[in-house]
Amino acid sequence: MSQRRVLITGASGQLGQALQDLALPGWAMEPLSSADLDVRDWPAVRSRFESLSPDLVIHTAAATNVDRCEREPEWAFEVNALGTRHVAQGSALVDAQLVYISTNYVFNGGKSGPYHEFDQPNPISVYGASKLAGEVEALNATSKCHVVRTASVYAEHGNNFVRTMRGLMDRLDRITVVDDQDSNPTYATDLAVAVAEIAARAPFGVYHATNEGTASWHEWAVEIADRIGATTEVAPISASEFQRDAEPPANGTLVSLPLARLGITLPPWRDGLKRCLERWPE
């Protein structure tokens, strides 16, 4: 079986590492962290793509600190929009297939039910706007493009909600967590499997890939506490009581119309959380 040369940007991030951990037999992976390649530098991107000549590019590199994006919008757009332009143009240059990882933040959160792939994006934050601009750049640069939107990604490593909650529960008797914002807690390992399947057999276009089911931040935190046996009181508060620079969508839940028809599904979010916590490093 011939090997596919797979270039992964943002390789040190949660999804980047999960993709490498899959160790797919048909993939010869070239993982590039931000230290290896600054996607904002077009000459560097072009040179690296020409030298590696990948068959598939999975673009996970992004400015994901949503509050910093709000404070530093130029930085957000340089990384998430301009950087994606460069990666997409590099992919087109070597005729590589591109998978661009996007976010539920492209929606404003006002819909009563989950957002599907054909709902109209309307971001309310700089982060969401910059990631939506990246979608436009990717789809305009190459016809061989998958856009994969996801939500609330976490893993055993990196900065994420599960790690934050575990740290707080280790130290505090009582914490407060927002209970009127919903999303799909998504385990990076499950997302990596879905991304690989989408890249292998889905028609080019936009897809939503998250673990099945929805939860508020509070519901998610309570589940974490229950599973690790924490005695910390997890008290609910409204988003208006938790001030931050960026405003997440109140309804950040996603659903996919096409993936189930392709036989690509992700497990329920509680199952993903259970497996993540079982693999948690001591």
pLDDT tens digits for 182-215? Answer: 999 999 999 999 999 999 999 999 999 999 999 9
Distance CA 83, CA 66 (A): 17
Residue 127 a catalytic site member: yes
Structure token digits, residue 275: 């497996």
Number of H helices, E strands in the chain: 10, 12
Confidence at residue 282, expressed as pLDDT on a 0 to 100 scale = 73
Please give the sequence-ordered ranges of beta strands (E in DSSP) within the chain, or none if there are none: 4-9, 27-32, 56-59, 97-103, 145-150, 153-154, 174-178, 182-183, 186-187, 205-208, 215-216, 233-237
Confidence at residue 1, expressed as pLDDT on a 0 to 100 scale = 54
Delimit the domains of the chain by residue range: 4-160+184-213+252-267
Confidence at residue 40, expressed as pLDDT on a 0 to 100 scale = 98
Pairing of strands 182-183, 215-216: antiparallel
Confidence at residue 2, expressed as pLDDT on a 0 to 100 scale = 74
Confidence at residue 242, expressed as pLDDT on a 0 to 100 scale = 80
May I ask the CATH class of domain 4-160+184-213+252-267?
A: alpha beta
SS3 content of the chain, % helix, strand, coil (to 5): 40, 20, 40
Sequence letter at residue 201 = R
The residue from 115, 127, 154, 187 that is catalytic is 127
Token pair 């927002």 in the structure block, residue = 178
Query: Nearest Cα to 275, choosing from 197, 162, 178, 175?
Result: 162
3-class state of residue 251 by DSSP: strand
Confidence at residue 240, expressed as pLDDT on a 0 to 100 scale = 87
Confidence at residue 123, expressed as pLDDT on a 0 to 100 scale = 97
Whether this prediction's pTM lies above 0.75 is answered by yes
% of the chain surpassing 90 pLDDT: 94
pLDDT in 10s for each residue of the chain, 282 residues: 578 999 999 999 999 999 999 989 899 999 999 999 999 999 999 999 999 999 999 999 999 999 999 999 999 999 999 999 999 999 999 999 999 999 999 999 999 999 999 999 999 999 999 999 999 999 999 999 999 999 999 999 989 999 999 999 999 999 999 999 999 999 999 999 999 999 999 999 999 999 999 999 999 999 999 999 999 999 999 988 887 888 889 999 999 999 999 999 999 999 999 999 999 987
